[in-house]
Structure formats: structure tokens, C-alpha cells
Structure 1
Amino acid sequence: MATIQSIPRPTRQRPARPVRPARPALRLVDTRELARADWLQVRRSGIGSSDAAAAVGLSPYKSPLVLWLEKTGRDADLQRPDPLDTREPVYWGTLLEPIVAAAYTQQTGHRVRRLHAVLQHPSVPFMLANLDREVLGVPGVQVLECKTAGEFGARLWRAGVPEYVQLQVQHQLAVTGRQAADVAVLLCGQQLEVHRIERDEALIAHLIELEGRFWAYVQKDEPPPADGSASAQAALRCLYPRSSGQTLDWRQDRAMSALFCDLQAVRGRLAEDSACEARIKQQIQQAMGQASRARFESGEVSWRRSQDSRGLDTQRLLAEQPDLLVRFPKTQPGRRRFVIHD
């Protein structure tokens, strides 16, 4: 497997030491009769394989800050998909996991079995893993990871196994000491692909190092830095939902004042870029006239009128029947607004 280049490497050039368990992974908890609340509590005690990419800042779905909220028990107010909602991908992923595993056996001939346990690395206690399946009797592979991807998610698989899944699997191999895993992914409900991922000792060593840095934030009860993602923004709203009315004086704080100057500079560049984008777009629209689509050497644009839509004129309705507001009230929870005053 190719090395994941975006994971920071140590500045000093030194050979990476293999981080392989001297003995098999520990069976931390049997999950066959474990209540969901207890299972969630076990997950808070360490970094699971599905947490690996988020812990090192490479998950497209979850920031380190959200993961920190989960591990420290501050995630009660976070919005998350309902695993029982049939409109959510997580529901279909859980429902289809055994089907993907059965299809993998049919396609490859490799027998698999469930492992009803949370596993723990024998020498790195914060590293946990839940395996979808074990592969039996095949010298070249011992772990099976089952995935499903819809129309949007399938795009992430065009170049092979996405980075965040590779990290998940390397985490599993680190915990178990196994040498390889197969990733079986069902694309758009009708195409099964199987990808082999070999153990990468250098990557595992760096993964453990970076996960250790994240876990230190959990142990210190100190939030990791926000990374600019929508996930991190949601975490900040959850962590600091209300303002105290206090005013902080950072005029003599060079670091914070420099940070604010950087924000002003970026906003200035964004305003210039936005104006430039609007001008160029209008020039293309003007050249198109009444045409609906234009093709270029590197792509194309469309300029069409959307269908008329019908809505309810609530302002007029309330003006004529003001009692409706009393009979059918709806409160929208307020949010803190970040406003810049130059």
C-alpha cells in the first residue's frame, strides 16, 4: 500500500521501528450482550479504528474537536445521524454489513466469522478496535472491513481505498498484529469491489504517535485546535453555546492581535476574489445571452431559469390572522454570531 503522504513525518530522518504487538490483542469487552450505552462508554475509553482518521485530522466527516467532545462526554448536544433512520447512510451501512460479508465470501471463496469483542492493543492501551469480520484459513489476509457507498460516497473510491479507510484498517492491523486486510465495498448497491491492504509498519508507527498526541488532549481535558472544518464549527457551537457578556482585552497580546490581523487580511482577499469572480461570471453570462449552456476547453457552464415555486406568504397571513402566531408558536433556538468590527 502506498504511504499516506499527508500524515506528517518526523523531521529527523530515522528508521521507523516496527510497532507490532508482542502478543495477540486483548479482548477488552465481549459485545454479544453488551447494552448500547455500555458499548458507547467503552468507546470513550480509547481510540477505535473508526476514530483513527478523525484523531489525526484526516477524516472528511469528523474533526478532532468533535472526536474530543465524544471522548470527554461533552457531545450530548451534537447533532448526529440516527442509526434507526432509514434515510441515513449509517442505517444502510449497518443493515448491509452482513450482506457485504456474505458477498465477499461468495466472490473470493474466503470464509469469515464475526468477532464479538472490543479489542485492545497489548502495549498501547488507548488503541481499541472492533473488527467487522475475521478471515479464516487464508495466509495472506486475516481481517475484513465491510463498507457501503452511495452515489456521492462512491466518488471517494474512484482512485481506490479512500485515505480515511486506509487509516482505519492500519489501526486495526496495529491493534491485532495481523499482516493484511481486505476491504469489501458495495458501490451504489450493485457493485462489490475488494481491495487488499498490507500492513505498513512505518505508517503504523506514525499513526500511533499522532493518535497519542490526540489522546493527550483527552487525558488533559484540553480541546485540540479547531481545523476550519464545518465539523469543528459544530463542535465550537456545542462547546460554547452562550456568551457571558465579558469583554477580553487582547490589545497587548501579540499572538492574538496577529491572529486577528491575519483574519482581516484573509477577509480582504476573499472580498477581492468575490468581486473578481462576479465580474468574470457576468462577462460570460453577457456573452451567452439567451443560450442555456456553453462549453469550454476545460469544462462547461449552464445558465437556465429554475421552475417557478409556490410558498406561503406568512407575513401577509399573520397580518390578516395574528392569532395564528399565538396558536401555533415555534421557537428557533438562537446561535452565537461571530461579527467582525474593524
Structure 2
Amino acid sequence: MKSIDLAQRTPEWHQWRAQGITASESAIILGRSPYKTPWRLWAERTGLAKTADLSKNPLVQRGNRLEDAARQWFEQRYDTLVLPVCGESEEEPLLRASFDGLTDAGEPVELKVPSERTLRDVAEHGRAASAFRLYEPQVQHQLYVAGADKGYLVFYQEDQEPIVFEIARDAALIEAIVSQGKAFWQALVEEREPEKDPQRDLFIPKGPQADDWAVLAGRYSALQQEAKTVEAELKRKKAALDDIQTTLVAMMGHSLIAESAGLRVTRFCAKGSVDYAALLQVRLPELGGDAIDAFRRQSSERVRVTVQEHPQKAVIPFKARTAPNPIADDHGLAVATSFWF
């Protein structure tokens, strides 16, 4: 391994990472990440999409805060030093890693500070847990860069016993990491889009469609503003009606029906709705989700359109690339399609 003298999380470190494929990206490139697709990573790396800022995420902040404690725990438990370093593969310098630590024997140690729910899942399912599946390629990537035969994946909690997996070198997985990593890099260089996942990736109109989208987005935004004005007026009138109704009911005293001056007021009691979920839990606690789904009506598609008041500050602002005019989010319009079951 070629060691790189860089302090992690510095501007120079970010620049170095951008010049290759990092260990944390391998799971995404292999399609194992539930958080990001290969296309999304490609879009962020090419500047088509902005990476979400997770620095204020409580789980991320907690992980950064407890990383040193996790490292010290591992050092004491395994009687070794664990030094955070950066390195590149001697065989393929394109593949690089920022290690949470390397032991005295040069073995990678990847430290995770998960939520309690994730830790319980890992404790229950072990290597079959989704978190292990997600981080396994990261450790294998690090093994390739470090030239080591084994490494460690540590799930740390300050108030619980940490869970440690010793991970042996997997030649087949490493081969996939290297080959698909190089192919992904070539797609970056050539600005060639990976195939999109229509269920997870964004549709971005291009060419004439971008122009049509811009016109429709402008019309939608204007109509929505008009609708808000009408709705605000309607809300005020409903509030005035409610005030009059309250006064009329107070005038009626204990009477249930009143009529005068062309206005009839009827008071009645309506039965409350049944909380069927609570009913089933109490009466049939053994009834599983599959049994309930057998009686679920057919799913239906719904659409949510969001007008972004400041699209340049959005989490995912896009800039024009192939289209002559700004695309989707540059016009402040985002469309999401969801399926309800």
C-alpha cells in the first residue's frame, strides 16, 4: 500500500478522495446501498447533483464524536495500536481508502456507531444483517488497498458491548470491487450515465423536454400561488362561519333543533370511527402482516408536486448540462410519484 500523508476531513483530503474510488463508495457501485444508487453517485461525482450535507445529522455527529472512543476500546480489547491513515492500492492506485485505523499488523479496522435499532438487528442476524451487508464491501475494499488478509468491522455503542466481525479476504468480492470500480471511473471520465433505477433515481428532462418542463413549471407555480390566495380567503370565510355557528348553538341552549330567518340548525351526535389496527392487535395479536395484506385493497398511484421557493438552496439542485435551458429543479418544480398500499 502507498501511504498518503493527509489529515482526514481536510480540503486536501477531499480533493484526494475525488481523484479515485473510495472504500465507502464500493457498496454503492455494487448496488448494495439502500441510500444511494450508482447513478446518483455518478451524478454527484460529475457535478450534475449536489451531495446532501449530512454534517448536521445527529447520527453522523454522534459517530464522529464517538469514533475515538471506539478506536480506544478496540486497542484495549485487541492489545494493538489502531492508527487512522490514508492509502492507495499499489496495484490499482485508483482504489484508495481512508482507514478508521490499521492495526500493528496492517489490518483494517472499520468503526461504526449505529443506532440502537441497527445494533439490535446486527446482534440478532449477524452477517445476514443489512448493516453488515452494507459495510462488508467497504472492508473488502480496504483489505485490497492495504494488502491484508483480514480486517475488522466494529459496531460500537458506549453503553453496550460492541459487536466485532473478523472479515477474511474475499477474492471474488474484491475482484468485483476492482472491476466495477474501474468501470464506474471510466463512466465518470467519459461523462457516460449509468443505467437509472426508475424507482429511486431522478428523471431529468433534456433538450426540448427541458423547455416544455420549464413552461409547465412556471404555469404550475403561478396557478399554485393563485390557489393559495383562494384557499386563504376560503379559510377566513370558514372561520367566520364557525364563529357564527358557535354563537347560534350557544343561543339554542339545550335545544337540538332551531329554525328562523331561513336558517335551520340541527345538533346531533355522530359515532366515532373504529381503530381497526388497535382492535386487531388486542383481539388477534397473533395475526401477522401477511394475513392482513391478503385483505388489502389494490394499490393506487398518487402524485405529489412540490414548488421549491429557493431551488438554488435545495438539497438536490441540478445545473443544465445537455439542455440549453436550466432543467427540472432550476425551475423550482419537483415531481414525486408514490404507490400506496
Band the TM-score falls in, shorter-chain normalisation: 0.5 to 0.7
Distance 2:76 2:14 in 1: 33
Q: Deviations over 1:33-58 (max 9, x none)?
A: x7733322221111100111011111
Q: 1:297 to 1:126 in 2, by over 3 A?
A: same
The one-letter amino acid paired with 1:61 is: Y
What is aligned with 2:29? 55
Matched, 1:26 2:2: yes
Which of 110, 119, 135 is the aligned partner of 2:103? 135
State the TM-score, normalized to the length of structure 1.
0.60
Deviations along 1:267-318, whole A, 9 cap, x unmatched?
A: xxxxxxxxxxxxxxxxx949959x856323546999xxxxxxxxxxxxxxxx
In structure 2, what is the equivalent of residue 147 of structure 1? 112
1:125 aligns with 2:93: yes
1:222 aligned residue (192, 197, 200): 192
Aligned residue in 2 for 1:114: 84
Aligned length: 238
Matches of 1:112 and 1:287, distance apart in 2: 51
Please state how far the C-alpha of 1:152 moved relative to its aligned partner.
3.3
Task: Determine the C-alpha separation between the residues in 2 that align with 1:153 and 1:201.
Answer: 28
Q: Aligned with 1:196: secondary structure? A: strand
Contact 1:100 1:186 in 2 (8 A): yes
How far is the alpha carbon of 1:229 from its aligned partner?
5.0
Structure 1 counterpart of 2:133, from 153, 163, 176: 163
Identify the residue that residue 161 of structure 2 maps to in structure 1.
191
Q: How does 1:292-303 map to 2 (within 5 A)?
A: 294-298=284-288
Contact 2:108 / 2:146 at 8 angstroms: preserved in 1? no
2:205 touches 2:213 (CA, 8 Å); kept in 1?
Answer: no
Q: Using CA pairs below 8 Å that are at least 6 residues apart, which structure has the higher relative contact order?
A: 1
The 5 A counterparts of 1:1-342 are 25-27=1-3, 29-32=4-7, 36-76=10-50, 78-82=51-55, 85=56, 87-115=57-85, 117=86, 119-137=87-105, 142-157=107-122, 158-161=124-127, 162-187=132-157, 189-228=159-198, 230=200, 232-233=201-202, 236=203, 243-245=210-212, 285=276, 288=279, 294-298=284-288, 331=309, 333=311, 334-337=332-335
8 Å contact 1:52–1:168 — kept in the other structure? yes
SS across alignment from 2:126: coil
Aligned partners of 2:205, 2:49: CA distance in 1, in Å?
7
Q: Whose Rg is larger?
A: 2
**1:122 maps to amino acid:** E
List gaps (5 residues or longer) in structure 1.
Answer: 1-24, 248-283, 303-329
For residues 117-146 of structure 1, what are the alpha-carbon distances to aligned partners after superposition, in whole Å with 9 as ceiling and x for unaligned?
3x1112223211111111115xxx722111
Deviations, residues 19-40 of structure 1 (Å, cap 9, x unaligned): xxxxxx123x4213x7733322
Aligned to 1:311: none
In 1, distance between residues paired with 2:169 and 2:180? 18
- Identity, in percent, stands at 25
Which residues of structure 2 form unaligned runs of 5+?
A: 215-274, 293-307, 312-331
Q: Give TM-score, length-normalised by structure 2.
A: 0.60
Higher helix share: 2
Query: What amino acid sits opposite 1:40 in the alignment?
Result: H
Post-superposition CA distance 1:200-232 (Å, at most 9, x none): 1122112212222222211211121122454x3
Query: Which amino acid in 2 is paired with 1:50?
Result: S
The Cα of 1:164 is off from its aligned counterpart by: 1.8
